A and B are shown apart, each in its own frame.
Chain A
Amino acid sequence: MQSGLLSSLIILPLIASIVILLLPESYKGSYRWIALIVQILLLINTGTFIGGFEANHTGYQFLEHFEWIRLTLGKTSILSIDYIVGIDGLSLSMVALSVIVFFVANISSFSINKKEKAYYSLFLLLSASVIGCFIAVDFFLFFIFFEFMLLPMYFLIGIWGGPNKAYASLKFIIYTLVGSVMILVVMIALAMSNVDEFFTSEYKRTVFSFDFRILSDQANLLNGSLLNIENPIKIFGVYARDFMFILLFIGFGIKLPMVPFHTWLPDAHVEAPTPISVILAGILLKIGGYGLIRIAFGFFPDVAVNYGLLISIIGLISILYGGFNALAQKDLKKLIAYSSISHMGFVLLGIGAFNVEGFNGAIFQMFSHGLLSSMLFLIAGVLYERTKNREIQNFKGLAKIMPIFTVMVAIAFFGSLGLPSLSGFIGEFFTLFGSFQATTIPKVIPILGVLGIVLSAIYLLWTFQKMFFGEFWTKEDFKNNLEDLNQKEIIMLGILGVLTLLFGIFPNILFDLVNHTVIQFF
C-alpha cells in the first residue's frame, strides 16, 4: 500500500515553501495564509492517520517504500539507502504534537512583519524536516532531516531574533552539529554492521542497510562486524557497542537538552522570536527524546540496560539543576527555558527506568511538555509583544486588567507544575512511577526527582503571584499597551489549554496509541 498520504506530510510543506519563494513580492499578504492552509491540511491528514491507526498492531503502519540510492562501496559491498516512511505509536504521537505546535506557531507568526517571504518558506521547510524526522523509517533519511533542520533554524533565529541573535544562532547550530556528527558516527557504524539478507542474496554482494526494521533486529548483525554483540573490540577501553551507545546518548542529549550540554537552550530561547521559541521548545527538543527511545534504546537494548542508572542520574541532575536555575531567573523567557530543561529531565528519568511505565511516561511527558511549553512561550510572547519587556519584576497585578490572560497563564502554570487533571501531572507521575519500579535504580533518585516538582511549584507559583496578584503596577509606561488577549491569542492559547485539559483527564487517548509500540521494546 503506497498511498503517498504519509509522504504528503513532508511534500506539502516543501511545495508550499517553494511556491512562497517563487511568488512575487506583491502577493506578500498571502504567504501567511498559504502556510496556514498547509498546516490545516497537515492537521487533517494527521487526523486521518489517527483514525486509521490500528493501535494493537505492532510495527510500522502506512508504510511507503521506494528504492533510492544503491551506493556501491568499493568492490564487494553496496550501501542501500531507501526512502521509507511509516508510523507506529511513538512516531504518530510525535507527528500529532508537531502538527499542533506548528499550527499554533503559524498563527503566532502573523505578528512577524519583516521579510515574510523568507520567513514563511523557512518556516515550512522546518515543518517538513521536523515531521520527516519523525516518520522516517530509514536511518539515513532520518539523519538527513535531522541535519537539515539546522539551517532553517539558524536563519530563523539569526534573522528574526533579538539583539544577541548572531551569538545565539551560532551557538545553537554548533552545539547541535556536534551532536549530530556523533549520531553520524553511529549511523555509519550501524549500517556497516547490519546486512539486508534478502538483497544480499539478490545482488550477490553484501548489502548494508539503514532500514530501521533491519537495524532493530540483532539477527541481521554481520558476523565479526564492529557492532556484533560478541565482538570483543574495545574503543578507548569500552566495548564498541557501549561506545556507540554513549555517542548516541550525548548526541541526542544535546538536542534534548540534558545538563551539562544544555547551555545553548536558554540563549537560543531568549533570542528567538516567539513562534520559533514555541517550535523549539514544543517540538525540536522532542526529537532528542524520540531519538533516544527509537535509536539508542531501540537498536542497543542490550547496552542500554547497563546505562539506565547513569541516564537516570543525569535526568535527575537536569531536573534539579534546571529547577534551581529557574528559581534565579529574572527574565520570564529564561525562566521558562530553564523549566524546559527541568521538565525534559523527567523524560530522561522515564527512559532511564527502562520499563513500560517509564517509557510510556516519557512519551507522555514529551507530548505534554510540547503543549505546555508552547503555551508558556506564547505567554511570554504576549507580554513581550505589548511591552517589549519580559522582566518578572516589572509587572504586578496583571489579573486586574488582563483576566482572560490570567486564566490561560493559570492553566499553563498549573499544568507545568503538575496539578492533577492537567497533562503535566500524568507525565511526571508515570516517569517517577517507572523509576520507582525499576530494580536497577536506587529509590533515592525518584525521591529526589519529586523535589523537582516542588521546585517547579515554587518558581511558577512565585512568578504567578508576583506578576498577577496584588495591586496593578508596571514599571515605566507599559500600562497603556497592556490589553487583554486578542482573538488570535485566545485561539492559540485556547487550543493548547483545552488539549492540556483533555489529555490530563483522558490520558488513555495517548497511552492507547503508544502502548503497543512501547511494549515491543521489552
Chain B
Amino acid sequence: MTELLEILNSSQNILPEWILIIGILFLVVIVSFQKDGSKWPYRFSFLLVLSYTFSASYYYENLPNEGIKLFGDLLLLDKTSLFFKQLVALSTIVFLIHSRLFKYKFDGEIYFLVLCILLGLSILAMTTHFLVIYVSIELVSISSYVLVATKNDKKNFEAAIKYLIFGAVSSAIMLYGISLFYGIGHTLNFTDSVFLKSIATNSALIIQIISFLFLAGLFFKIAAAPFQSWVPDVYEVTSTPIISFLSFAPKAVGVLVVARVVQANFVDLNTVLLLIIIISLIVGNLAALWQTNLKRMLGYSGIAQAGFILIGVLKGPQTDFYGAFFYILTYLPITMGAFFLADILKKQAGSDEMEDFKGIGQKNIFLGLNAVIIMMALVGLPPTVGFMAKLMVFSSIINLGEDMHSSAYYGLLIFGLLNASISIYYYLKVPYFMLIKKSYNQPRYNPDFFLTVVLSYFSIALVVFFFYPDYGTEWVRKVLF
C-alpha cells in the first residue's frame, strides 16, 4: 500500500513528463490521421513543448534544496534538473521555430522523434540511478539514429549507420560499466550510502576504470573525444535545425550527469576528465582547422567546446560546477545561433561550403555583422557572452589549481587558452569569406531580411548578456547542487 501511495505521490511530481508522454501518444494519432504536409503535427508539438516548459517551471518554488526523491530512488527532482529541463525545452522551441522559419517540410515523425529525445533527456536530467540513466540514454540515442536516417539519401544512411555503430558500442561499454558497478556496489543508485560504502572498499584504480567505462555512453552523447568520430558526418548531412538541436540538448544533459557522478564523489575522475578534455580540445581544434564545410567545422568545434565545458566539471574542494552550468546556458544561444546562421548562408550560397560564402556579407552588411558576433562568441572574445563563459570556466581552474597544489591545472589552463586562440583561425573563416573575399558570381539569392532580423535576436542576446550577465549568473547560482 505504501508503495502504491509512493507511486501516486511521485507521479504528481513529474507532471511535465506525463504531459509529454500523453502528448506524444496523441501526436502519433494526429500524424497517422493527417495528410502528408499537414501543419498540425508542428502546431501540436509547439503547444506541447510550451506546456511542458511552463509546467516544469511551476515546481521551482516549493522544491527543497536537496531535491525530492521519486519512485523510491529512481528519480531525483531538484532545481538543477529543472534548470536543465527548461534549457532542453527551450532548445526544442528554438528547433521548432527554426524549422518553421526556413519552411522545412518535416514529416510528423520528425516531431515525434524530437519529442522523444526531449522526454529522454528530461528523465536523464533527474536521475542518479544507473539503470534509468541507461534507459533514457537509449531512448535519446535510438531516436537520434532514426532522426539522422530519415532523409532519403545515401550519405544520410552512411552517417546514421556510423552513428548507430559507435552509439551501440559506447552504450555496450556503458552497460558493462554499470554491471560492474552493480557487482561491486550492490545497488544501482550512485548516491546511495550502501553504494558509496561498498565502493570505498575497492582500489581507486579499478573504480576509475569502471567509471570510465560507464561514462563512455555519456561522452558519446557529449561528443567528447575519443567518442567523437560520428560527429562530422552526422553534422554534415542532417537537416540544420535537427542538428542544431542535437548539438545542444544531449550535450547539456550529458554534462549534467557527469557532474552528478563527480558530485557523488565516490571516485576521483579528474585524471580521466583531464585526458578527455585534452584529447577533445586537440582533436576538435586541429581537425576543425582543415574543414571547408561550415557544418562539419561546427561539428568539430562542438567537440572542442565539449572539452571546454568539461573543464568546469573537474572536482576540487570548492567545486560547484558553476562554470560548466553557466557555459551550457550560454552555449544554447551560441551554438543554435551559429546553426541558424549556417542555414541562412546555405540558403543564400546554395551550399555549406565556406568558399561559396564569398561576398555575401558585402551585399548584406547586417548579416556580416551578425556572423562576426556569433563567431566571436564561439571563440570567446569580448564583448560577447562567450567570453564570460570562458572566463568562468577558466577562473574555476585557477581556483582548482590553488586548492589542489598541482601544476597540471595551470598547464590545462594555458593549453585551453592556446586552443581558444587557435580556434579563431577557423571561426573567422566564415566572416572572412563573407566580408573580405569578393564574389565572382552574381548574387544568387536576395538577402532574406526577415531571417537576418531573427538571427540578430541571437547576436543581440549574446552581446546584451555580456554586459548584463547577472540574469544568467543569478539563475545558475540558484540551481547549483
Shortest distance in angstroms between A189's beta carbon and chain B's nearest beta carbon? 5
Shortest distance in angstroms between B407's beta carbon and chain A's nearest beta carbon? 5
Residue numbers in B under 8 Å from A115 (CB-CB) = 362
Q: How far is the CA of A70 from the CA of B472 in the complex (A)?
A: 12
Query: Beyond A69-B469, A73-B322, A74-B477, is A170–B425 a contact (Cβ under 8 Å)?
Result: yes
Within 8 A of A (CB), among B456-481: 467-470, 473-474, 477, 480
Q: How far is the CA of A401 from the CA of B245 in the complex (A)?
A: 69
A-B pair count, CB < 8 Å, reads 106
Q: Is A19 interfacial (CB 8 A cutoff)?
A: no
Contact between B391 and A188, CB atoms less than 8 A apart: yes
Within 8 A of B (CB), among A182-236: 182, 184-185, 188-189, 191-192, 225-226, 233-236
Q: How far is the CA of A456 from the CA of B85 in the complex (A)?
A: 67
Q: State which of B420, B468, B474 has its C-beta within 8 Å of the C-beta of A72.
A: B474
Residue numbers in A under 8 Å from B318 (CB-CB) = 74, 76
Contact between A75 and B411, CB atoms less than 8 A apart: no
Q: How far is the CA of A478 from the CA of B94 in the complex (A)?
A: 61
Residue numbers in A under 8 Å from B362 (CB-CB) = 115
Contact between B376 and A151, CB atoms less than 8 A apart: yes
Q: How far is the CA of A148 from the CA of B435 in the complex (A)?
A: 18
Residue numbers in B under 8 Å from A118 (CB-CB) = 365
Q: How far is the CA of A133 from the CA of B372 in the complex (A)?
A: 22
Within 8 A of A (CB), among B400-454: 401-402, 405, 407, 410-411, 413-414, 417-418, 420-422, 424-425, 428, 432, 435-436
Contact between A234 and B407, CB atoms less than 8 A apart: yes
Residue numbers in A under 8 Å from B401 (CB-CB) = 226, 235
Contact between A188 and B395, CB atoms less than 8 A apart: yes
Contact between A166 and B422, CB atoms less than 8 A apart: no
Contact between B407 and A235, CB atoms less than 8 A apart: yes
Contact between B320 and A75, CB atoms less than 8 A apart: yes
Q: State which of B387, B388, B435, B469 has its C-beta within 8 Å of the C-beta of A155.
A: B435
Q: How far is the CA of A90 from the CA of B395 in the complex (A)?
A: 30
Contact between A185 and B413, CB atoms less than 8 A apart: yes
Contact with A along B383-403 (1 / 0, CB 8 A): 100011001101100110110
Range for the number of chain B residues in contact with chain A: 35 or more
Q: State which of A74, A117, A188, A236 has its C-beta within 8 Å of the C-beta of B398.
A: A188
Considering the complex, give the chain A residue whose CB is closest to the CB of B379: A177
Contact between B421 and A189, CB atoms less than 8 A apart: no
Q: How far is the CA of A303 from the CA of B204 in the complex (A)?
A: 41
Q: Is A49 interfacial (CB 8 A cutoff)?
A: no
Query: Beyond A155-B436, A185-B413, A192-B398, is A71–B480 a contact (Cβ under 8 Å)?
Result: no
Q: Is A154 interfacial (CB 8 A cutoff)?
A: yes
Contact between A184 and B480, CB atoms less than 8 A apart: no
Contact between A72 and B477, CB atoms less than 8 A apart: yes
Q: Is B382 interfacial (CB 8 A cutoff)?
A: yes
Query: Beyond A173-B428, A184-B394, is A151–B470 a contact (Cβ under 8 Å)?
Result: no
Residue numbers in B under 8 Å from A74 (CB-CB) = 318, 320, 322, 477, 480
Residue numbers in B under 8 Å from A170 (CB-CB) = 425, 428
Considering the complex, give the chain B residue whose CB is closest to the CB of A68: B467
Range for the number of chain A residues in contact with chain B: 35 or more
Shortest distance in angstroms between B210's beta carbon and chain A's nearest beta carbon? 30
Shortest distance in angstroms between A237's beta carbon and chain B's nearest beta carbon? 8
Q: How far is the CA of A170 from the CA of B426 in the complex (A)?
A: 10
Q: Is A324 interfacial (CB 8 A cutoff)?
A: no
Contact with B along A167-182 (1 / 0, CB 8 A): 0001001100110111
Query: Beyond A71-B469, A71-B473, A72-B473, is A158–B381 a contact (Cβ under 8 Å)?
Result: no
Query: Beyond A173-B428, A174-B424, A243-B410, is A148–B383 a contact (Cβ under 8 Å)?
Result: yes
Q: State which of A73, A117, A144 has its C-beta within 8 Å of the C-beta of B382.
A: A144
Considering the complex, give the chain B residue whose CB is closest to the CB of A231: B402
Contact between B417 and A182, CB atoms less than 8 A apart: yes
Contact between A225 and B382, CB atoms less than 8 A apart: no
Residue numbers in B under 8 Å from A433 (CB-CB) = none
Q: Is A473 interfacial (CB 8 A cutoff)?
A: no
Which of A72, A173, A191 gathers most chain B CB within 10 Å? Answer: A72
Q: How far is the CA of A189 from the CA of B414 in the complex (A)?
A: 12
Residue numbers in A under 8 Å from B407 (CB-CB) = 234-236
Contact between B417 and A73, CB atoms less than 8 A apart: no
Query: Beyond A178-B418, A225-B402, is A73–B395 a contact (Cβ under 8 Å)?
Result: yes
Q: How far is the CA of A144 from the CA of B384 in the complex (A)?
A: 10
Q: How far is the CA of A431 from the CA of B235 in the complex (A)?
A: 58
Residue numbers in B under 8 Å from A521 (CB-CB) = none
Considering the complex, give the chain B residue whose CB is closest to the CB of A143: B382
Considering the complex, give the chain A residue whose CB is closest to the CB of B474: A72
Query: Beyond A154-B428, A155-B436, A233-B402, is A70–B470 a contact (Cβ under 8 Å)?
Result: yes
Within 8 A of B (CB), among A66-89: 68-76, 79
Shortest distance in angstroms between B366's beta carbon and chain A's nearest beta carbon? 9
Considering the complex, give the chain B residue whose CB is closest to the CB of A188: B395
Residue numbers in B under 8 Å from A484 (CB-CB) = none
Contact between A147 and B424, CB atoms less than 8 A apart: no
Q: How far is the CA of A71 from the CA of B392 in the complex (A)?
A: 10
Q: Is A159 interfacial (CB 8 A cutoff)?
A: yes
Considering the complex, give the chain B residue whose CB is closest to the CB of A76: B318
Contact between B411 and A159, CB atoms less than 8 A apart: no
Contact between B422 and A174, CB atoms less than 8 A apart: yes
Residue numbers in B under 8 Å from A234 (CB-CB) = 407
Residue numbers in B under 8 Å from A69 (CB-CB) = 467-470
Query: Beyond A147-B381, A185-B414, is A178–B402 a contact (Cβ under 8 Å)?
Result: no
Contact between A181 and B421, CB atoms less than 8 A apart: yes
Contact between B399 and A192, CB atoms less than 8 A apart: yes
Contact between B424 and A177, CB atoms less than 8 A apart: yes
Shortest distance in angstroms between A116's beta carbon and chain B's nearest beta carbon? 13
Residue numbers in B under 8 Å from A181 (CB-CB) = 417-418, 420-421
Residue numbers in B under 8 Å from A184 (CB-CB) = 391, 394, 417
Q: How far is the CA of A141 from the CA of B251 in the complex (A)?
A: 32
Residue numbers in B under 8 Å from A177 (CB-CB) = 421, 424
A-B contact pairs, 26 of them (CB 8 A): A68-B467, A69-B468, A70-B470, A71-B469, A72-B470, A72-B474, A74-B320, A74-B477, A75-B480, A79-B395, A147-B382, A158-B436, A170-B425, A170-B428, A177-B421, A178-B418, A180-B421, A181-B418, A181-B420, A181-B421, A182-B417, A185-B394, A192-B395, A225-B402, A234-B407, A236-B407
| 9 more CB-based (< 8 A) A-B contacts, given A68-B467, A170-B425, A188-B395 | A74-B322, A166-B436, A174-B424, A178-B421, A181-B420, A185-B417, A192-B399, A233-B402, A236-B411
Among all A-B residue pairs, the 6 with the closest Cβ atoms? A181-B417, A177-B421, A144-B382, A74-B320, A74-B322, A235-B410
